[in-house]
Amino acid sequence: MPTTSLRERSRKKFYTSSILRGGEIAGAGAVVRRTRLYRVFSVVIRQRDLGEADRILSLYTRERGKLSAVAKGIKRPRSKLAGSLQSFSYAVVQLAAGRSLEVVTQARAIDGHYRLREDMNRYAHASYVAELLDALTDEGMGDEETFDLLLSTLVALNQGEDSATVVRAFELKLLGGLGYGPEMESCAVCGGDVDANPLFSVGQGGIVCQQCGTGGGINISGAGLRALRNLRRMKMDDLLGRRLSEGVQREVGCVMRAFVDSHLDRPLRSAAFLTDEG
């Protein structure tokens, strides 16, 4: 088990590389040349082409939440930005405030998370994580806690942790952080005890007791309910090396798929590429 948290290690890596290169990039959030330029820690969660050479990136940043920025010339063969701003890359990015969109002026990768783009299964799960975050947040919306959750999730997937376990934990923590988390401690309707033969009701927003669950719901075992609670409660770092048993994984996956879908306007494209277990 690692002795330092993933975030600490990523930060260390950045500071070390910055010092080695002469420290020409100041700390993130530093204001450079009055207020026109600023720097953020960011992860690329989506990109789309803009003309022949440019792309519009959707960045989830620690300092300013989700924002869109134009990366000019990024599709050109010798672009300096291309290597640092691939999908799921963690980078420090310098932006110029634009009239409608920000413009990327410099970027340096802290961790490219390159294994996420080399392995189909990891790529599918990372795509789902990024797309779900994108679907549930608006431009300019975000906080440090969500940024750290995104980063720790991508780091865990990149280093080969069990993708289904990591993604279920991400869903529960993300929804909880945004205020959409399911009720899992007591009956969502009457507030009573639910530990004996509970049901999960998407319509009622979580676990319900047998009396309140007459309208239907998904049967969930005691082990399944404990897994849901643990995935939400435990830090991502503490989940490393853990894997849900096959049966529990199926149960938790089924419940979460239905619950997440109920919060989306339309299905996520990336969800179709996840395996049944994931």
Would you tell me which residues interact with Zn ion (CB under 5 A)? Answer: 187, 189-190, 192, 209, 212
CA dist 36 → 22, 31, 74, 215 (Å): 23, 8, 21, 56
Q: List the helix and strand counts (H, then E) for the chain.
A: 7, 9
Min dist CB 259 to Zn ion, Å, is 18
Measured distance between the N- and C-terminal CA atoms of the chain, rounded to whole angstroms: 24
Min dist CB 204 to Zn ion, Å, is 9
Min dist CB 6 to Zn ion, Å, is 39
Closer of 190 and 234 to Zn ion (Cβ) = 190
Closer of 140 and 191 to Zn ion (Cβ) = 191
Min dist CB 194 to Zn ion, Å, is 7
In the structure encoding, which two tokens stand for residue 10, read together? 């990523």
Min dist CB 8 to Zn ion, Å, is 43
Burial of 273 (0-12, 13-18, 19+ CB in 10 A): middle
CA angle 180, 182, 186 (to 5 degrees): 140
Closer of 61 and 204 to Zn ion (Cβ) = 204
CA dist 26 → 17, 23, 105, 276 (Å): 12, 7, 14, 45
Closer of 100 and 214 to Zn ion (Cβ) = 214
The residue type at 186: S
DSSP string for 195-230: -SS-EEETTTTEEE-TTGGGG--EE--HHHHHHHHH
Q: Write phi, then psi, for 219 (nearest 5 degrees).
A: -65, 135
Closer of 69 and 212 to Zn ion (Cβ) = 212
CA dist 43 → 234, 246, 258 (Å): 23, 31, 27
Min dist CB 262 to Zn ion, Å, is 19
Closer of 95 and 208 to Zn ion (Cβ) = 208
In the structure encoding, which two tokens stand for residue 197, read together? 């033969």
Closer of 206 and 224 to Zn ion (Cβ) = 206
Min dist CB 186 to Zn ion, Å, is 8
What is the distance between the alpha carbons of residues 228 and 181, in angstroms, rounded to a whole number? 11
